[in-house]
A and B are shown apart, each in its own frame.
Chain A
Amino acid sequence: MAYSKELLHSLEEKGKILRRDCIRCIGVGVAGHVGGSCSSADLVAALYFYKMKYDPKNPEWDGRDYFLLSKGHVAILQYAALAEAGFFPVSDLPRCKEIGFYLQGHPHLGTPGIEAGTGSLGQGLSLGSGMAIGLKLDRKPNRVYVLVGDGEMDEGQIWEAAMSSGAKKLDNLCAIIDNNGLQAQGRTADRLDQGDISAKWRAFGWNVIEIDGHNMEQILTALDEAEKFKGKPTAIIAHTIKGKGISFAENQVGYHNRALTQEEYDKALEELS
């Protein structure tokens, strides 16, 4: 499918804006998940500003599509997307983790636009699978999107959910795997080598699409193909770069969850402007 240059450009810009929001949200001297937010930013921008149906004025609108951040540690990225989409003010983002404030360190039910508490890795896909089953029972057209980390695939529950969703032919469910190749303590391949992950998802009964997770045209094509594909859930394996868009953080293990210095903060914002 052909997408206009304007659309692709505007979504790429959204990706940058989300990254900037994340940096502002983290600020200086306080640990935050920079790397995984930046690797997922283009995927999340495409979901919130191209693909998903929602109403920021009525977050519980029953016609909405559902998004679950199974890799909940990058909550700031979802908060940035929700704020830019109008669920709450962008100016609230830096107040994340303030005592008693509605923006918690991990997605928390009660924050406008958050569908479930996530962040104990491995559980988001099961939650999404349950939503997809319920929507099918009600013959509703809403779709469910779940963003899964590649490190998160170490968790056994991901494969329970993959098996169950495949067996139940949940074609209203789409898992997007942010395959950035790094996890908290090092390279994913050096922790537990996951082997051929496309083959694994296929073997569990999923339609698999592999893309460059920073190529907006490929992202949109994959999301549209996933919606059209019937009879199986779709796994979009998005090859990404951890820390994408911030030169000193790209592909660096050390930026999984750390505090930025004033110099790093300024440089990151400059590069993302």
Chain B
Amino acid sequence: MTETSQRKAYGQTLVELCRENKDIVVLDADLGGSTMGKMVETTPGMEERHIEMGIAEANMISTAGGLSRVGKIPFAASFAVFAAGRAFDQIRQSVSIGKLNVKICGSSAGVSDFGDGATHQSIDDIAYMRVIPNMSVFVPADANETAAVTKYMASHKGPMYMRLNRNAYDNVTPEGREFRVGEPYIMKEGTDVTVFACGIMLIKALEAAKALEGEISVRVVNVPSIKPMNRESVIALSKGMKGVVTAEEHSVIGGLGGAIAEALRRERIPIEFVGVEDRFGLSGHTYDDVLNYLGLTAEHIEKAVREISSL
């Protein structure tokens, strides 16, 4: 895909999917121009497949639940803090207990809405979506993977949450690679330390691995499927290593790091987390300003790899 924006990849894929399947509908809470759900609304002949719900995320999610019960496949999107955070109770009660076929897109996730500050930055959504029984949680690494995950969500039943980045950046995963649910996969082979990364932190993990070449051999693993997560695969990818590092644009509590630690809980392998320490985000002039301030950089991954390999 020449597209490098996860949001646009989401919108374009929805348009494709709507063409193929008459039951797909797209809901937005007055942010369709940002989530790119609006691409469906502005495609001739698809106008009524986009359902504008106004600034009312709680109602949007339960409404999506109702749509799923009459055979629709609803994709409901807003900024992650609103789609997942504000509507947490509706996702739990209306959608997840009944395993309704509702797809939730948490857009502008992590600190990617860098200017808007703590109220608009989701550093906790992976944790509180992951803890809900029946819910799947996906974090595509880039635009290519966003397209693959969106297609998977449309063709598989059950409640699913996908978090997307607001900002465009180069693709690192191959175009057209089919999303394999539950499976972490190797992006770069290495023999000393495994770095498990998701979202934008995958690029930074690859950068860190390159910087460490000749010093420490780093295996970089992409983890787009936070839940389900194949425990045996995580163990196999970690076995024999001096240690494991996780890297995510999310709190170090309960996210990717938590999931990997749970998977490795019977293994004697030290783990270090790179993520947002127990704090909220903040405004910055650029995305990099915020990432750097919060320690979400390749240098922080390098440091963690060095520390874990010298234990």
Contacts and interface: CB of A to CB of B under 8 A. Distances in A.
Interface of A: 62, 66, 108-110, 115-117, 119-120, 123, 126-135, 137-138, 140, 156-157, 160-161, 163-164, 167
Contact of A137 (B61, B72, B89, B100): B72
A66 B66 CA distance: 10
Interface in B26-73: 48, 51, 53-54, 56, 58-59, 61-72
B196 to A, nearest CB: 34
Contacts of A134: 25, 66-67, 69-72
Nearest to B62: A126
Contact of A116 (B51, B61, B66): B66
Contact of B69 (A108, A110, A127, A161): A127
A123 B94 contact: yes
Contacts of B67: 130-131, 133-134
Contact of B93 (A117, A132, A138): A117
B188 interface: no
A30 B25 CA distance: 44
Contacts of B171: none
B18 to A, nearest CB: 12
B97 A127 contact: no
B68 to A, nearest CB: 8
Task: Name the interface size band of chain B.
Answer: 20 to 34
A163 B59 CA distance: 10
B306 interface: no
Given A126-B94, A134-B71, A116 B65 contact: yes
B48 A137 contact: yes
B286 to A, nearest CB: 36
Given A116-B100, A133-B51, A164-B54, 8 more contacts: A116-B66, A126-B94, A127-B63, A130-B66, A134-B72, A138-B70, A160-B56, A163-B56
Residue among B62, B89, B97 facing the most chain A CB atoms (10 A cut-off): B62
B239 interface: no
B206 to A, nearest CB: 42
B212 to A, nearest CB: 49
17 contacts: A108-B98, A110-B98, A116-B100, A117-B94, A117-B98, A126-B63, A127-B63, A127-B94, A128-B66, A129-B63, A131-B66, A134-B67, A134-B69, A156-B58, A157-B90, A160-B56, A160-B59
Nearest to B93: A120
Contacts of B71: 62, 134, 138
A134 B72 CA distance: 7
Nearest to B48: A137
Contact of B97 (A66, A117, A129, A140): A117
A110 B97 CA distance: 11
Given A109-B99, A116-B100, A120-B89, A130 B54 contact: no
A116 B63 contact: no
Contacts of A116: 65-66, 69, 94, 98, 100
A164 B93 contact: no
Residue among B61, B63, B97, B100 facing the most chain A CB atoms (10 A cut-off): B63
A130 B62 contact: yes
Contacts of A126: 58-59, 61-63, 65-66, 90, 94
A127 B99 contact: no
Interface string B187-217: 0000000000000000000000000000000
B98 A131 contact: no
A26 B85 CA distance: 37
Interface string B140-181: 000000000000000000000000000000000000000000
Contact of B59 (A110, A137, A161): A161
B57 to A, nearest CB: 9
Contacts of B98: 108-110, 116-117
Contacts of A140: 70
Contacts of A110: 98
A115 B94 CA distance: 11
A133 B69 contact: no
Contacts of A128: 66
A131 B69 contact: yes
Given A109-B98, A123-B94, A126-B90, A133 B66 contact: yes
Nearest to B56: A160
A197 B36 CA distance: 38
Interface string B91-109: 0011001111000000000
A167 B67 CA distance: 17
A132 B67 CA distance: 8
A157 B89 CA distance: 11
A106 to B, nearest CB: 9
Nearest to B54: A164
Contacts of B48: 137
B63 A164 contact: yes
A130 B64 contact: yes
Contacts of A164: 53-54, 56, 59, 63
Contacts of B97: 108-109, 117
A138 B70 CA distance: 10
Nearest to A62: B71
Contact of B58 (A66, A117, A160): A160
Nearest to A136: B48
Contact of A123 (B70, B72, B74, B90): B90
